[in-house]
Structure 1
Amino acid sequence: MKPLFYLSLLALSSFAFANSPLPNHRHIAITGYGETSVKPDIAILHLSVEHTDKKSAEAKAEVDKRFNALLKGLKKFDIKESDIVASRIATSPRYEYSQQQRKQLHVGYSANRTIKVTVNDLNLLSDVMDLALSVEVNQIQHLEMASSKEEELQQKAVELAIENAKSNGAALANAFGASIGKVYSIDAQNHEQIRHYSNMEKMGNARMISADMGSVSPGTYLQDELTFKATINVVFDIKSKS
């Protein structure tokens, strides 16, 4: 059954290279996979502040007030200005549909601003979220987990993919009484990062709901793993064993 398995592997490898130029001489096309995982050590909060008022200036002033309160509070956690990114305030007319008059009525102006805060110490994450809610940030839109070693981990995944391609190529060639020779071509463009943090998002939303109810309780945030993946397509020359 072993030869059949290797023939199937060869067929799959050839399919992966269907759109790539292949040499006319004897060769073997191999796809190598690499994967490495790590616990996140950085949290990125995507926040939204919004307010509607009768006048555009008043709506903007309220959003400014909440944003400034957030900045002031973040200083207590030694979060640098470089770790805070905020969009410009956007204002727009606010309309609501009147069932009685059967038309849209102008009810005021809405002002909003989005803010991204990078928390480099996960021990502070709960307190930073509490601060955001206390200054009336309307929504924690998204909680993104990351790693300070992202480039190193992605490179490690690529290295593992290379070793996997070499190992698979050597094993497949050996099964047919041959060995791999020089590399004809390499395609290592397929990199992927998978962020497993759905549980953290759910907990963040739950805290916001409890805050609205006036019953915020401290919680522990689950640190799911980040997975870095790499795929490398390699074409080796094949040479007969002497």
Structure 2
Amino acid sequence: MKLINVVLLNLLLSPLLMASALPDGAHIVVQGYGEVEALPDIAKLHLQVSETRDTAAEAKAEVDRRVAAVLRAARQQGVDDTAIRASQILVHPDYSWEDGKRRLRGQRLVRQVDITLADLSRYGALVDALVAAGVSELGEVRFIVSDREVLAERALLAALADGRQRAALLAANVGRQLGKVYRVDAGAAPVVPLAPRALMMEAKGRADAPMLLGSETVSARLSLVFLLD
């Protein structure tokens, strides 16, 4: 909420600040817009290994065996141990309903495993290996760009170049030469992500199906004041 308030304050004060900071001589005020996009380069997989047995000890032994196989499969696909997180074990009774009566099936044991894959060319092979290792459920998979700050910087530079081009065009059409930048206001419109665009990327490894990824797009706007020569 605090961040939202700061952004709103910037939006309200920006016109006043711009008006009070204009040069006395000939000048031009323009808006620059820029956007950049990049394909995700990291996948975050949320897995679950579960088992129901007569006793919690029996269920744990089976889950431990399959989790160990999952970890081996991930390492074989180049995933470092620092990119794997295995959560604590959860145990609870597993019931089923038969003829309107609840029957105890056994003790259900669940363990979550989170894997961060830094090489998306191995995604298909990794999923195949995890399924073969005994993953009970492949939950949420998120594809993300590892360094969004770089995208934000490139968007700002693109907005600056766009604003300069607009200013040069306008200056030339009024018979003036574009001078130096007098003021840059980057607070009026913060860098924001745009809706992803669908792009195809072939999953390498044993999985033959293509992987549909959305590119990460970031946009930026700048208010620019140029002097006119």
TM-score (norm. length: structure 2): 0.67
| Percent of aligned pairs with the same amino acid | 24
1:136 aligns to 2:125 (yes or no)? no
Per-residue CA deviations over 1:166-190 (Å, capped at 9, x if unaligned) read 4446657887899796326421633
Instruction: Report if the CA contact (8 A) 1:145-1:195 is conserved.
Output: no
The answer for the alignment partner of 1:55 in structure 2 is 55
The answer for the alignment partner of 2:158 in structure 1 is 160
For residues 127 and 238 of structure 1, the distance between their equivalents in structure 2, rounded to whole angstroms, comes to: 54
For 1:161, the aligned partner's letter is: A
The answer for the alignment partner of 1:22 in structure 2 is 15
Per-residue CA deviations over 1:89-137 (Å, capped at 9, x if unaligned) read 2223334455524xx5554333222222233333322221111111220
For 1:53, the aligned partner's letter is: R
Question: Given the superposition, is the C-alpha separation of residues 162 and 92 from structure 1 closer, same or farther in structure 2, using an over 3 Å criterion?
Answer: farther
Alpha-carbon deviation of 1:223?
5.9
Instruction: Report if the CA contact (8 A) 1:47-1:115 is conserved.
Output: yes
Matches within 5 A, 1:38-53: 38-53=38-53
Question: Given the superposition, is the C-alpha separation of residues 105 and 26 from structure 1 closer, same or farther in structure 2, using an over 3 Å criterion?
Answer: same
The answer for the alignment partner of 2:219 in structure 1 is 230
Alpha-carbon deviation of 1:51?
2.2
For residues 116 and 164 of structure 1, the distance between their equivalents in structure 2, rounded to whole angstroms, comes to: 42
For residues 89 and 79 of structure 1, the distance between their equivalents in structure 2, rounded to whole angstroms, comes to: 22
Instruction: Report if the CA contact (8 A) 1:186-1:233 is conserved.
Output: yes
Q: Whose strand fraction is larger, Structure 1's or Structure 2's?
A: 2
Question: Given the superposition, is the C-alpha separation of residues 86 and 168 from structure 1 closer, same or farther in structure 2, using an over 3 Å criterion?
Answer: farther
The answer for the alignment partner of 2:190 in structure 1 is 189
For residues 82 and 189 of structure 1, the distance between their equivalents in structure 2, rounded to whole angstroms, comes to: 34
Alpha-carbon deviation of 1:195?
5.2
Alpha-carbon deviation of 1:225?
5.3
Question: Given the superposition, is the C-alpha separation of residues 197 and 61 from structure 1 closer, same or farther in structure 2, using an over 3 Å criterion?
Answer: farther
For residues 67 and 163 of structure 2, the distance between their equivalents in structure 1, rounded to whole angstroms, comes to: 51
TM-score (norm. length: structure 1): 0.64
For residues 86 and 196 of structure 1, the distance between their equivalents in structure 2, rounded to whole angstroms, comes to: 33
For 1:192, the aligned partner's letter is: P
| Root mean square deviation of aligned Cα | 4.1
